[in-house]
A and B are shown apart, each in its own frame.
Chain A
Amino acid sequence: MPGHRTKGFCASAAALALCAVLAGCGGSGESVGGGKVVLRYTWWGNPDRAERTEQAVALFEKQHPDIDVTTSFSGYDAYKQKLATQAAGGDAPDVMQLDYRQIDQYASGGVLLDLGRQKSVLRTSEIDPGLLATGRVDDVQYAIPQGRGTETVAYDVQTWKKSGVPLPGASWTWSQWADTMRALAKKTGKPGATDPGQSEDAFEVWLRGQGKSLYTEDGGLGFTADDLTRWWTFTDRLRREGAVSPAEQTTQLDGSVENTPLGRGKSVTDANWDAPASGFLALVPTGVALAPMPTGEDGTPGQYFKPSMFLGVSANTGHPEEAAQLVDFLINDRQAAKILGATRGIPVNETVRDELGPQLKDFDKTIADYQASLEGKLKDPPQAPPSGDNALQSTFQRDYDQVSYERMSPREAAENYVTEAKAELRS
């Protein structure tokens, strides 16, 4: 056989090489359409955010006739998975929206571009330095925060008023909240709230109200199985009483407002982040208002202001400068800010915020007023969660499913969760 490299052999070798070349052409970055630079920009959010983002992007394209921006968006859960897969394949979008939970993993995994190098087109001088620092990993600015958000109890104003139960005030404790939910359920015939037992976010607020935290400073678990047992016993009892949503409703949550019990007209309130709560208006057209999250029994607030989402640029982008221009536009441009309003939280650019503040209208104003009412009352945010938290969020929800479908006791499920969490954080 050696020395007998026939034509056939050469042809198959050529075919192999050709295939490799063709496959190589599928790479990312060098996307040029009709002489224009094409940028891919992806985010998660509701249709309201999508519409406003599209408008802002159209304005950007008008200002930069040589740049085309292709956009896509989805719900948070789906977005998270898709982005991780794209990023792992070296095909992350040029400009991507990121969550606080993702920054650490994406930055250390080499997915994100050092934005400090794009200073000439990307201005950050008007952003509060403390807030800006939340997008930094190992002293490199990998992402820019887009807004500031906090949790809230969004409620259906009309239903609540009709029930005759007094409207929420400036502050309430968890037990006052529970009593109110019971009263609402009794008067309206539907659960007062989404069962908060499934939400790691709500649990964190409850924990912080007792002076504890979700994670320790070195990224370990900040609570014990006993703490979680108490939380789940509390919510489990409310569910059995009908004060919060039944398991069949709770299990349908997927990070979109459409699939919350409030969005389906099956409850009076829902605990959510303030910016996405704007999506409820389309579902509850008679009006939605915002109340603060419950506090610890001694009045210690558990909620906090956190950077609500970030913009990052792919390290593999073929057009770092144009991508940075888009980020700059979305964060600093006055007209863009006007279009975007508070759909991603109150703007981070302080000049824009001061200028825009009085002009905000509709739900944007509701959010701004809500945040203003909490100004100075909340404690400092925790540091960015360890990367394992990304997976633990859904583990938390699943383990609680076992409680709400009465397949496990709160104690069993809590011990399960703590075991899983420790394994997750160790790796």
Chain B
Amino acid sequence: MTTTAIPAEAQHAPAPAAKRRPRREREGAAWVFLSPWVLGAIVLTLLPMAVSLYLSFTDYDLFNPPQWVGLRNYTQMFTEDPRYWRSVVTTLTYVVIAVPLQLALALVVALALKGMKRGKAFYRSAFYAPSLLGASMSIALVWRAIFNDGGTVDHLFGTGGWVNKPGLALLAVALLTVWQFGAPMVIFLAGLQQIPAELYEAAAVDGAGKWRQFLSVTVPMLSPVLFFNLVLQTIQAFQVFTPAFAVSAGKGGPADSTLVYTMYLYDRGFVASHMGYASAMAWVLLVVIGVVTAVLFRTSRSWVFYASEGDR
């Protein structure tokens, strides 16, 4: 970087004014082409974020102007709201169930696909399809029907509907997420294909079996990709909303067992009309996700292996 930057500046400094013009104009053109994105970022992301930060210190019911209340929303959240803490515990449970399951499944399928000689493209698309469908409300509603009283699961196992049982409802939500393992699977597959075949050959010559090869070659070589997927899916899992909303018919029930963080946030904001409180919750979530990601990055030093640093 530095070696190229210095000559660029040196070249720039003595340049006559006439040469500067076209560059400025090019810059202007760049801004024109960027303007949809810049406008979108400002109007749809930065501005609402600023407003939300302000609202988090107010009492705002949508109808009357916001009233400044200082830190009250935050103190109420941490000290006076048992349902808030229940939603925190539910979300953590969900993250701990859904993320490892989803990543494990994605890895297993990616490994199976890698070894395939024919039809790889077809199966890759087929396994990716749920991720495209899963984002839609309709599939979540179908999911609710499958796990409801008289649904498929009830018929197969005779357990009654999972969505009405506090112990199982969150699992039904998590399974919907796990089923959408397409994105991490594709990334794993790309990662697997990057591992040089010589490593496996060398390992085989040294007498390593399949399992040994997996542990000693695949896992370390794949660890950067694994780490990337882990961070991404964890962040997403903390923000889970649609599956929980649809599977519990918008209520987070039964007995608050699927009332994940964002569901409770939605409930406070749009059902109870406490937009200030909901905004405060959103900011706490942002900070928590930031901290969790930072922790993951810190631990990554001890288990993620970057091939380029191998000689260190």
**A residues at B contact (CB < 8 Å):** 4, 6-9, 11-12, 15-16, 19, 77-78, 80-81, 84-85, 87-88, 105-106, 108-111, 247-249, 251-252, 254, 387, 390-391, 394-395, 398, 401-402, 404-405, 407, 416, 419-420, 423-424, 427
Residue of A11, A251, A401 ringed by the most chain B CB atoms within 10 A? A251
| Structural contact, B256 and A9, CB atoms closer than 8 A | no
Residues facing A in B98-129 (CB within 8 A) are none
Residues of B within 8 A of A394 (CB): 251, 267, 271
CA distance A11 to B27 in the complex (A): 12
CB distance from B50 to the nearest CB of A (A): 18
B134 at the interface (CB under 8 A from A): no
B202 at the interface (CB under 8 A from A): no
| Structural contact, B62 and A11, CB atoms closer than 8 A | no
B24 nearest CB neighbor, chain A only: A6
| Structural contact, B25 and A405, CB atoms closer than 8 A | no
| Structural contact, B161 and A248, CB atoms closer than 8 A | yes
CA distance A105 to B83 in the complex (A): 25
| Structural contact, A4 and B24, CB atoms closer than 8 A | yes
- The contact of B63 among A108, A391, A402, by CB within 8 Å, is A108
CB distance from B6 to the nearest CB of A (A): 24
- The contact of A398 among B62, B160, B165, B256, by CB within 8 Å, is B256
- The contact of B31 among A8, A387, A416, A424, by CB within 8 Å, is A8
Q: How many interface residues does B have (CB within 8 Å)? A: 41
| Structural contact, A8 and B62, CB atoms closer than 8 A | no
Given contacts A15-B32, A106-B63, whether A248 and B271 have CB atoms under 8 Å apart is no
CA distance A78 to B271 in the complex (A): 9
B167 nearest CB neighbor, chain A only: A405
| Structural contact, A109 and B32, CB atoms closer than 8 A | no
B191 at the interface (CB under 8 A from A): no
| Structural contact, A81 and B31, CB atoms closer than 8 A | no
Residue of B32, B149, B165 ringed by the most chain A CB atoms within 10 A? B32
B164 at the interface (CB under 8 A from A): yes
CB distance from B300 to the nearest CB of A (A): 38
A23 nearest CB neighbor, chain B only: B43
| Structural contact, A424 and B32, CB atoms closer than 8 A | no
Residues of B within 8 A of A247 (CB): 164, 254-255
Residues facing A in B210-261 (CB within 8 A) are 249-251, 253-256
| Structural contact, B256 and A12, CB atoms closer than 8 A | no
CA distance A401 to B31 in the complex (A): 55
CB distance from A71 to the nearest CB of B (A): 23
Question: 14 A-B Cβ contacts within 8 A?
Answer: A84-B62, A105-B61, A248-B164, A248-B165, A251-B253, A387-B61, A390-B273, A398-B83, A398-B256, A401-B253, A401-B254, A405-B254, A407-B255, A427-B59
| Structural contact, B271 and A391, CB atoms closer than 8 A | yes
B28 nearest CB neighbor, chain A only: A8
B35 at the interface (CB under 8 A from A): yes
**Proximity string of chain B (259-290) to chain A, C-beta cutoff 8 Å, 1 when within and 0 when not:** 00000000100111110000000000000000
Residue of A12, A254, A407 ringed by the most chain B CB atoms within 10 A? A12
| Structural contact, A9 and B28, CB atoms closer than 8 A | yes
A105 nearest CB neighbor, chain B only: B63
B80 at the interface (CB under 8 A from A): yes
CB distance from A285 to the nearest CB of B (A): 20
CA distance A77 to B270 in the complex (A): 11
| Structural contact, B270 and A81, CB atoms closer than 8 A | yes
CA distance A59 to B269 in the complex (A): 39
Residue of A6, A7, A78 ringed by the most chain B CB atoms within 10 A? A6
Given contacts A87-B63, A88-B63, A248-B161, whether A391 and B28 have CB atoms under 8 Å apart is no
B70 at the interface (CB under 8 A from A): no
**Proximity string of chain B (71-83) to chain A, C-beta cutoff 8 Å, 1 when within and 0 when not:** 0000010001111
Residues of B within 8 A of A15 (CB): 32, 35-36, 39
CA distance A12 to B32 in the complex (A): 5
| Structural contact, A391 and B272, CB atoms closer than 8 A | yes
| Structural contact, A405 and B39, CB atoms closer than 8 A | no
Residues of B within 8 A of A248 (CB): 149, 160-161, 164-165, 254
B11 at the interface (CB under 8 A from A): no
B4 at the interface (CB under 8 A from A): no
- The contact of A8 among B29, B83, B250, by CB within 8 Å, is B29
B60 nearest CB neighbor, chain A only: A88
Given contacts A12-B31, A423-B76, whether A85 and B164 have CB atoms under 8 Å apart is no
CB distance from B253 to the nearest CB of A (A): 5
| Structural contact, A251 and B273, CB atoms closer than 8 A | no
| Structural contact, A401 and B255, CB atoms closer than 8 A | yes
B64 at the interface (CB under 8 A from A): yes
A419 nearest CB neighbor, chain B only: B80
CA distance A404 to B166 in the complex (A): 11
A8 nearest CB neighbor, chain B only: B28
| Structural contact, B272 and A252, CB atoms closer than 8 A | no
**Proximity string of chain B (37-74) to chain A, C-beta cutoff 8 Å, 1 when within and 0 when not:** 00100010000000000000001011110000000000
| Structural contact, B253 and A84, CB atoms closer than 8 A | no
CA distance A78 to B246 in the complex (A): 13
Which 10 interchain pairs have the tightest Cβ spacing? A8-B28, A109-B63, A391-B272, A88-B62, A248-B164, A405-B255, A251-B254, A401-B255, A6-B28, A12-B35
